[in-house]
Structure 1
């Protein structure tokens, strides 16, 4: 069973997403809407990573095998400055959140196959939260794009 690998990948991705939300909040202090929302979404990501830990222990027998390094590729490397930087940062976060969403989906399928009701419940709850993260990120990118991409800078 390779479930431990995906649980580890998701745990790491959720932790990185939490830190990325906080980095964007800190990196764009002139965007007042980012402060509260990014902190709340970061807290949810951190909570999701924490809630995965019992399952990491439960399926740890598979984790003893060497995990391929290519299973995880960093998608966010720090906040950029300016409007275009914000748009690119949000885009990076969207890609990282999508990685989490796909991982939740695949883990949910495996949990159903393993008949692990606790993990199924966690996937259901966290998958819904992740869908909200993606919705907010898409909306915020759509809001920023016209001003950043269509208005001449100067």
Structure 2
């Protein structure tokens, strides 16, 4: 199942990239206590998704020529931007990456249903739910940061 292996690799790499990026933003904006702690928590979720995926990787394999998450990952996520506008832009970058993760889990869940693979479906369903929560927090935090970043003079 070469196409499933491609998507398994894509979600594995995307989750790793999301976790690394969340940690980078947490550390880069550590003065914002909620960003620091929540981003570290959300990064842990992405790492756990990868751990849960390990038996699936063994069963179906990974086609490692997938470089989409790295291509989509902005350099700014390894060196965060400064100030309120920087935080806003970093949160948007995280949101973009989390959206890739979410849509990839959705595709995998559909494949799991077609294969009648209950284990993979359970992993995809629970990971999708937590990724939805990651996106919800990012959206809420973007809404909170936007007025300060856009209206208040630095």
Tell me the TM-score normalised to structure 1 length.
0.91
What CA distance in whole angstroms lies between the structure 2 residues aligned with 1:56 and 1:135? 28
Hey, what's the Cα distance between the residues in 1 that align with 2:68 and 2:141? 30
- 2:72 aligns with 74
> CA shift at 1:145, angstroms?
0.2
Q: Give the aligned partner of residue 137 of structure 1.
A: 138
How far apart are residue 129 of structure 1 and its match?
Answer: 0.3
Structure 2: distance between partners of 1:123 and 1:3 = 13
TM-aligned CA distance change 1:48 to 1:70, over 3 Å: closer
**Structure 1 regions of 5+ residues with no counterpart?**
none
What is the distance in 2 between the residues matched to 1:129 and 1:116? 20
Q: How far has the Cα of 1:24 moved from its partner?
A: 0.8
Tell me how many residue pairs correspond in the alignment.
150
- Residues 42 and 134 in structure 2, CA contact (< 8 A), matched pair in contact too: yes
TM-score, normalising length: structure 2: 0.91
Alignment deviations for residues 2-51 of structure 1 (CA, whole Å, 9 cap, x no partner): 10101101001101111111111110121011122111111111110121
Q: State the match for 1:117 in structure 2.
A: 118
Cα deviation for residue 75 of structure 1 reads 2.1
RMSD between aligned residues: 1.6
Unaligned runs of 5+ in 2: none
Deviations 1:82-128 (A, max 9, x none): 11111111000000000000000000000101110000011111110
Q: Alignment partner of 1:73: what SS?
A: helix
